[in-house]
Amino acid sequence: MKKKPDVDFDNYVILGACNPQFALQALQEEKEIGLLLPCNVIVYEDNANVYVSAILPSSVMSVVENPKLAKISQEVEEKLKSVIDSI
């Protein structure tokens, strides 16, 4: 936020956390799924507390009714939860 639009903002970071193998699997099932890939993780500080958050892949991917995507999103979700829970 400091570079563009040159605004001082809270201590807030958006991390790109896309797993290329899972992204490829999803794209092979649905080319348009790239619009919905849940690849961002946010880390921010608020009142001396640090928060780490990500959207649940299963909720995003459920928009597309494809059972193969449901399986992939569940695998990604388990890994993502594991990483966030370990912090």
Over the stretch 33-53, which tens digit does the pLDDT of each residue have? 998 888 899 999 999 999 999
What pLDDT does 24 receive?
Answer: 95
With a cut of 80, say whether residue 6 has pLDDT above it: yes
pTM of the entire predicted model: 0.78
| CATH number for the domain whose boundaries are 12-85 | 3.30.310.70
What pLDDT does 21 receive?
Answer: 93
CA dihedral of 15, 26, 77, 40, whole degrees rounded to 10: 10
CB atoms within 10 A of CB 26: 25
Instruction: Give domain limits for the chain.
Output: 12-85
Spatial separation of the C-alpha atoms in residues 13 and 41, rounded to whole Å: 8
What pLDDT does 65 receive?
Answer: 87
Residue 33, both tokens = 């799924």
Over the stretch 10-28, which tens digit does the pLDDT of each residue have? 889 889 888 999 999 999 9
